[in-house]
Chains A and B, each alone.
Chain A
Amino acid sequence: MSAIRPDYSRPLDFKGGRVEMSHGAGGRAMAQLINELFAKAFDNPYLAQGNDGALLPPASGRLVMSTDSHVVSPLFFAGGDIGCLSVHGTINDVAMMGAAPLYLSAAFILEEGFRLSELKRIVESMARAAKDAGVFIVTGDTKVVEKGKGDGVFITTTAVGVIRDGITLSGDLAQAGDKILLSGSIGDHGMAVLSQRENMTFDAPITSDTAALHTLVAAMLDSGAKLRVLRDPTRGGLATTLNEIAKQSGAGMMLQESSIRVNGPVDAACEFLGLDPLYVANEGKLVAICAPEDADRLLEVMRAHPLGRESAVIGEVREDAHGFVQMITRLGGRRIVDWLAGEQLPRIC
């Protein structure tokens, strides 16, 4: 980010002002937006260097890097907004590798006419999420597209983390007999966003589960349990994540529907919209696959963490040449939990 110090100009109008093309044009207006909004909110020594890139200290281990673009609509939803979501989502991707996240970059594509007040709310939410997670947003970029060519704001974040020696997690390491653990209820994020969009109201509101999971992961790694795979079941939901792992590992799975938690209002909203919660996005849950003898120990550690209180063993990995993910339904029958067929759900993450 630039460190141009503009001569005095009127401060940005965060009450009634809107994004203009000039805010992405590289001139004074852009510098002002960066200084008065981004630099102020994200405030940290790396960002303050003010060069084209952030110069970071040497890391003490292998590096993990992951990137994710966020295009959620609506931008604000119960339990979060696109800002904290874009921080949590990318931190989680790095955390699922077993790494401790350190730095983030953030790139914004703003639509001309977008309210500065909303942008400010989003940026401040990002700053808070990063601070809570102990991660620095060290570099960034802003572009503005003409009105009608964006959807308010799109945010791309990249995270870098470091992984300590001896940890190897990968989607192809699941073995027959391994246990599958899930850190809590499913479908909360997707249905929070969708129900807001569809203007559905329920007795109990549906709140997104968006959260940074790296401290939960750290506790799990510290437990010494033989962890093989960690994944966060975001877009495509639990079903998609498990199918990906099954495919990568060349194994099948057998799940117990009764151990997969779905909150009442989420279930009702899914029913209403004809959706299966197994395919609905989560933003604060993880799936862990571990050696069977360590499952109890791991479960205990997960339940002791605030983000894993409702953790459960939901099934196990088994030999299956077809790589089918199957489930004993709550009625006691068997079914396949297949890849999602047909249309994608609307944009929710």
Chain B
Amino acid sequence: MKYVDEFRDGELAKHIAARIAHEASPLKTYRLMEFCGGHTHAISRYGLSDLLPDNVRLIHGPGCPVCVLPTGRVDQAIRLARMPGVILCTYADTMRVPASGKLTLMRAKAEGADVRMIYSTQDVLKIARDNPQREVVFFAIGFETTTPPTAVAVKQAAAEGLKNFSILCNHVLTPAAMHAILEGGVALDGFIGPAHVSTIIGSQPYEVFATEYGQPVVIAGFEPLDVMQAILLLIRQINDRRAEVENEFTRAVTREGNLKAQALVDEVFEVRDAFEWRGLGSVPHSALKLREEFAGYDAEQRFGIEYVAVPDHKGCECAAILRGEKRPQQCRIFGTVCTPENPVGSCMVSSEGACAAHYSYGRFREDAK
């Protein structure tokens, strides 16, 4: 029965919270970044910061796929969607990311572009099969978790000889973003490492952050208790002056990760020299593109659309928020001009975005002051 679980969860959380309060030194501040939007969501959804002492601070990281998508990339997708004969397919949240000229894919759709929301890459293939006279483009976004399904789709299209399918590839890499964050100079004392991403890439890619940057990393699942436990483990590492990669999420993550998925991705994709991220700027070796032999499925090449970088909205602090330098409430238009109904920046779009999570779950904190 759910009741019992909840009771147990609550008791356990209290127990971990008590350990954290006991073990966190009042003389220190613990600045912990949760990299993933999934963790940001869990923290806000369950009000976890209320269970932590004031000197244990959680800093939202950039691990929210739609948040890090720069305006220019959405513009590119909209340009594609507006081409005659094109059907542009994408995941739901992507539809609402603000682009140039007050556009979103949703608005482009309302104005007549054929944009379709899909749940899986198999939906895209089906649309391509059903519409042989149309060009079907998948606006592929996301971290290492969403990449394998895209790779499967590309391989399947190649095997079937599906000629009217292509992808606008925006798959990005977690470790590269963590490098960029650390190089950016934000003061951090440790990372709560990704859950789902780590099931694919394993825990090994984080080891360099421990050895070279002295940053403790604890990989954690997306359940709120996972997050609490990870915070406790990080505090222990920091107190002991250790910097290691620990795995709280052993029920799903190994050191090597999912080798099959990695091989599949490697077969289809290769690393780009550089890729522009919202907030982090151009980050070397931080994203993927199709390998030469699959280049025929690259929408950028097929339709000859160049990427054009576009500056963010002037009032929007998304960039600083994604770098961990600012909090949503420090944005002047947070909750007034920019709300989940009318997002100005990308962080207000998905429930994993720092601004949307804070708006939907935590904004009573400011208003109470």
Interface set of A (CB-CB < 8 Å, partner B): 257-258, 261-264, 267, 322, 324, 326, 328-336, 338, 341-343
* Given A258-B6, A324-B367, also A331-B1 (CB < 8 A): no
A336→B360 contact, CB < 8 A: yes
How would you classify the secondary structure of chain A's contact residues: helix, strand, loop or mixed? Answer: loop
A-facing mask of B1-12, CB < 8 A → 1, else 0?
111001101100
Which one of A262, A324, A335, A341 contacts B46 once the chains associate, using CB atoms below 8 Å? A335
Closest Cβ–Cβ distance, residue A268 to chain B (whole Å)? 10
Is the beta-carbon distance between A336 and B96 smaller than 8 angstroms?
Answer: no
Given A331-B47, A331-B51, A342-B96, is A336 in contact with B364 using a C-beta cutoff of 8 Å?
yes
Smallest beta-carbon distance A270→chain B, Å:
11
In the complex, what distance in Å separates the CA atom of A343 from the CA atom of B91? 13
Q: Is B218 an interface residue (CB 8 A)?
A: no
Can you name the residue of chain A whose Cβ is closest to the Cβ of B43? A333
Can you identify 15 A-B contacts, CB atoms within 8 angstroms? A258-B3, A267-B2, A322-B364, A324-B367, A329-B46, A332-B14, A333-B48, A333-B50, A333-B51, A335-B45, A336-B364, A338-B359, A338-B360, A341-B341, A343-B92
Output the least CB separation between A117 and chain B (Å): 31
Is B340 in contact with chain A by the CB < 8 A criterion?
Answer: yes
Which single residue of chain B is at the shortest CB-CB distance from A324? B364
A262 partner, pick from B2, B339, B356, B361, beta carbons under 8 A: B2
Q: Which of B10, B44, B96, B340 contacts A335 (CB 8 A)?
A: B44
Which of chain A's residues have a CB closer than 8 A to the CB of B224? 329, 331
Q: Which residues of A contact B48 (CB under 8 A)?
A: 331, 333
Residues of B within 8 A of A342 (CB): 96, 340-341
Query: Which A residues are CB-close (under 8 A) to B120?
Result: none
Closest CB pairs A-B (n = 3):
A333-B47, A341-B340, A333-B50
Pairwise interchain contact B362-A336, C-beta atoms closer than 8 A: yes
- Please name the residue on chain B nearest to A321 by beta carbon: B367
In the complex, whether B225 has a CB less than 8 A from a CB of chain A is yes
B10 CB → nearest A CB, Å: 5
Beyond the given pairs A263-B2, A334-B364, 7 more chain A to chain B contacts, judged by CB atoms under 8 angstroms and listed by A's residue number, are A258-B10, A322-B364, A329-B45, A331-B51, A332-B51, A333-B48, A336-B361
Asked if B291 CB lies within 8 Å of chain A CBs, one says no
Q: Does B49 contact A (CB under 8 A)?
A: yes
Say yes or no for B363: interface residue by CB 8 A criterion.
Answer: yes
* A324 → B minimal CB distance (Å): 5
A269 to B3 CA separation, bound complex (whole angstroms): 17
Quick check: is B17 within 8 A (CB to CB) of the other chain?
yes
Per-position contact with A for B325-356: 1 when CB-CB < 8 Å, else 0?
00000000000000111000000000000001
Question: Which of B6, B10, B45 has its CB near the most chain A CB atoms (within 10 A)?
Answer: B6
User: Which residues of chain B are within 8 angstroms of A338 by Cβ–Cβ distance?
Assistant: 359-361
Do B46 and A330 have beta carbons less than 8 Å apart? yes
Decide yes or no whether B13 CB sits under 8 A from chain A. Answer: yes
Q: Which residues of B contact A333 (CB under 8 A)?
A: 46-51
Interface residues of B (CB under 8 A from A): 1-3, 6-7, 9-10, 13-14, 17, 44-51, 92, 96, 224-225, 228, 339-341, 356, 359-364, 367
B342 to chain A, nearest CB (A): 10
The answer on a CB contact under 8 Å between B47 and A329 is yes
- Is there contact, CB below 8 Å, between B45 and A264? no
B-chain residues with CB within 8 Å of residue A261 when the two chains form the complex = 2-3
* Given A267-B2, A331-B51, A343-B92, A336 and B363 contact (CB-CB distance below 8 Å): yes
B9 & A331 in contact (Cβ 8 Å cutoff): yes
Inter-chain contact A264/B367, CB cutoff 8 Å: no
Least CB separation from B227: chain A residue: A331
Contacts of B46 in A (CB 8 A): 329-331, 333, 335
Kindly list chain A residues whose C-beta atoms are within 8 Å of the C-beta of B360.
336, 338, 341
Q: In whole Å, how far is B336's beta carbon from the nearest beta carbon of chain A?
A: 14
What B residues does A341 contact at CB under 8 A? 339-341, 356, 360
Give the docked Cα–Cα distance between A296 and B367 (Å): 33
A263 and B47 alpha carbons, distance in the complex (Å): 23
| A258: chain B residues within 8 A (beta carbon) | 3, 6-7, 10
Contacts of A343 in B (CB 8 A): 92
Rounded to whole angstroms, the CA-CA distance of A263 and B2 in the bound complex is 7
Would you call A334 and B340 a contact (CB within 8 A)? no
Task: Report chain A residues within 8 Å CB of B47.
Answer: 328-329, 331-335
Select from chain B the residue with minimum beta-carbon distance to A343: B92
Contact A330 B9 (CB under 8 A): yes
Residues of A within 8 A of B14 (CB): 332
Cα distance A253–B30 in the bound complex, in angstroms:
33
Q: Which residues of chain B are near A335, meaning CB under 8 Å?
A: 44-47, 361-362
B328 to chain A, nearest CB (A): 14
Bound Cα distance A175, B254 (Å): 54
CB-CB under 8 A from A262, the residues of chain B are: 2
Least CB distance, B94 to chain A, in whole angstroms: 13
The residue on A at minimum CB distance from B44 is A335
Contact (Cβ within 8 A) A331 B2:
no
Residues in A neighbouring B341, C-beta threshold 8 A: 341-342
A331 touching B364 by the CB < 8 A rule?
no
Q: How far is the CA of A262 from the CA of B1 in the complex (A)?
A: 9
Within 8 Å CB of B45, what residues of A?
A: 329, 335
